[in-house]
């Protein structure tokens, strides 16, 4: 890997490398092989234009206007009109990091060399990306077929000197942003407006961030569950390897292994080894089975998405090897719509089961701890309402997890008669995962308070390391204070990238 530039070749991006590029503002460049492929497909496009061959979106109109021939003289206007007319998005703007991923994935798709665009367009897009300009892209308007047309059109608007953007954190017109970045608006040639807007990059971008976060959240959920195991004085017998090997799902095996590592050398566990308690509730005993199923779902979704971000998803496709063009449906978002719904449903379960553990922690009759984890109940409510918040979020997620992919509304005079609604699914998934983060933080907060009541007994090595980090920023709640602030501070601690690293320095790598 070059120390200054990440090479884009249309086939090598991963979720991890993509997130690293946008989070660290790394610069990109095209591979030599990509340059060759781009030039080959463009030669064919130029040939068909000169010969007035009817090719969808190149010498014809779009959608229902597929049979309307466009003269060579009107080609550039056709492409600009496409961007202007398709910029019909509404609603809140897409987060900057998602917009950056959209642009990166569009560049990577075009770099495969099957879209028929000029090398000049890709070079401009790379300069645009490297400049740090972030177009303002409304989040609503895509039905997840013919690609994410409206969002990608708003992305392209700024490239032609229209629309709005951010540059150095300031909101301004697209024309002004280009000027400050030292760039001139690009004039789109044949096929290029279509190539910029016809793809699944909005869905892919939301899912990239969601899967990346979900992998991290999955490990954090194992750790927060272990906090509860200790605070509730539960047994670790259900996490024994022999049990998992009799039902050897990968995620289940990984989760149980994580728990054993995190709970190793626990004084709390030793203190009640012969207490006579036979078994714990499902929310404790079945952590490997529940969290493990989520891990397996994340792994499946990751495989699908990493195929997608290295694919060509526009139409028509220009195939130099066959000296031909093919009108197809690679823009259809069904693969992403389904995994977005699946991922949302799966990750929501991390919050659902965590909230049940939080409930047990604050109910003194179940936990054996002071009611609502406060020394002076009555005068103080303690962490009573933290559980309400977790319950509210879990309930909200139940609504958000209703699948979008089961719906379809026809568009373009029934030419586009089945749509994936993948953009809706991916946005909901992103919201679900952000909600789950809050519930996991509440479990860390309540379980840490519970652990304080068990002192001087020390928890397992992973729990203890995480507990120390939380307590370095957040004191034991001796009396009532603003609980929302405590939840926010807990989130700051646990979602700091150093948090899991420090825990893993004690436990070894978690999965």
- Indicate which residue of 5, 56, 300, 511 is catalytic: 56
DSSP code per residue over 233-289: T--SGGG-HHHHHTS--HHHHHHHHHHHHHHTT-HHHHHTTTS------HHHHTHHH
Whole-angstrom distance, CA of residue 356 vs CA of residue 277: 19
The answer to whether the CB of 239 falls within 8 A of the CB of 288 is: yes
**Close Cβ partners of 291 (under 8 Å, ≥ 6 residues apart):** 218, 221, 222, 225, 251, 255, 350, 353
Whole-angstrom distance, CA of residue 139 vs CA of residue 423: 9
Whole-angstrom distance, CA of residue 230 vs CA of residue 250: 25
Closest CA to 296 of 335, 357, 349, 260: 349
Whole-angstrom distance, CA of residue 480 vs CA of residue 468: 22
Half-sphere exposure of 336 (CA within 13 A, CB side): 39
The answer to whether the CB of 350 falls within 8 A of the CB of 440 is: yes
Annotated active-site residue 114? The verdict is no
The three-class DSSP label of residue 349 is helix
* Beta-strand relationship, 27-30 and 324-326: unpaired
Whole-angstrom distance, CA of residue 124 vs CA of residue 2: 21
Half-sphere exposure of 459 (CA within 13 A, CB side): 36
Instruction: Give the residue numbers marked as catalytic.
Output: 56
């Amino acid at each position: 890997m070059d120390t200054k530039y990440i090479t884009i070749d249309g086939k090598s991006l991963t979720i991890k490398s993509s997130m690293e590029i946008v989070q660290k503002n790394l610069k990109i460049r095209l591979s030599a092989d990509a340059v060759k492929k781009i030039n080959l497909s463009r030669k064919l496009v130029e040939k068909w234009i000169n010969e007035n061959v009817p090719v969808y979106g190149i010498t014809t109109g779009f959608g229902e206007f597929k049979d309307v021939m466009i003269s060579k003289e009107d080609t550039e206007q056709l492409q600009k009109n496409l961007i202007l007319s398709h910029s019909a998005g509404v609603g809140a703007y897409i987060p900057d990091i998602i917009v950056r991923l959209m642009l990166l994935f569009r560049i990577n798709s075009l770099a495969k060399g099957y879209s028929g665009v000029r090398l000049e367009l890709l070079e401009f897009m790379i300069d645009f990306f490297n400049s740090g300009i972030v177009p303002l892209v409304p989040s609503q308007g895509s039905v997840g077929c013919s690609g994410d047309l409206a969002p990608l059109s708003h992305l392209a608007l700024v490239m032609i000197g229209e629309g709005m953007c951010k540059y150095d954190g300031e909101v301004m017109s697209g024309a002004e942003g280009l000027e400050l970045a030292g760039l001139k608006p690009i004039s789109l040639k044949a096929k290029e407006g279509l190539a910029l807007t016809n793809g699944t990059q909005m869905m892919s971008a939301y899912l990239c961030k969601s899967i990346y976060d979900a992998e991290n959240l999955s490990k954090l959920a194992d750790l927060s569950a272990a906090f509860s195991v200790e605070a509730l004085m539960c047994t670790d017998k259900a996490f024994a390897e022999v049990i998992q090997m009799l039902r050897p799902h990968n995620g289940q095996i990984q989760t149980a292994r994580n728990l054993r590592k995190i709970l190793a050398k626990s004084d709390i566990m030793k203190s009640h080894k012969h207490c006579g308690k036979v078994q714990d509730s499902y929310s404790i005993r079945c952590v490997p089975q529940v969290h493990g199923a989520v891990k397996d779902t994340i792994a499946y979704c990751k495989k699908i998405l990493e195929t997608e971000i290295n694919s060509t998803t526009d139409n028509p496709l220009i195939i130099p090897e066959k000296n031909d063009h093919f009108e197809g449906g690679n823009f259809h978002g069904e693969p992403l719509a389904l995994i977005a719904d699946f991922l949302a449903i799966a990750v929501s379960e991390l919050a659902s089961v965590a909230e049940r553990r939080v409930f047990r922690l604050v109910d003194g009759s179940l936990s054996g701890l002071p009611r609502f984890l406060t020394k002076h109940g009555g005068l103080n409510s303690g962490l009573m309402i933290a559980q309400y918040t977790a319950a509210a979020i879990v309930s909200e997620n139940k609504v958000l997890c209703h699948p979008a992919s089961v719906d379809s509304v026809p568009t373009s005079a029934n030419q586009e008669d089945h749509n994936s609604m993948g953009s809706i699914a991916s946005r909901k998934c992103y919201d679900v995962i952000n909600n789950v983060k809050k519930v996991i933080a509440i479990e860390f907060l309540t379980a840490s308070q519970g652990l304080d009541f068990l002192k001087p007994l020390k928890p397992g090595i992973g729990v203890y390391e995480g507990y120390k980090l939380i307590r370095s920023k957040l004191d034991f709640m001796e009396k009532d204070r603003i609980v929302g602030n405590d939840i926010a501070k807990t989130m700051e601690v646990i979602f700091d990238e150093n948090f899991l690293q420090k825990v893993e320095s004690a436990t070894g790598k978690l999965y």
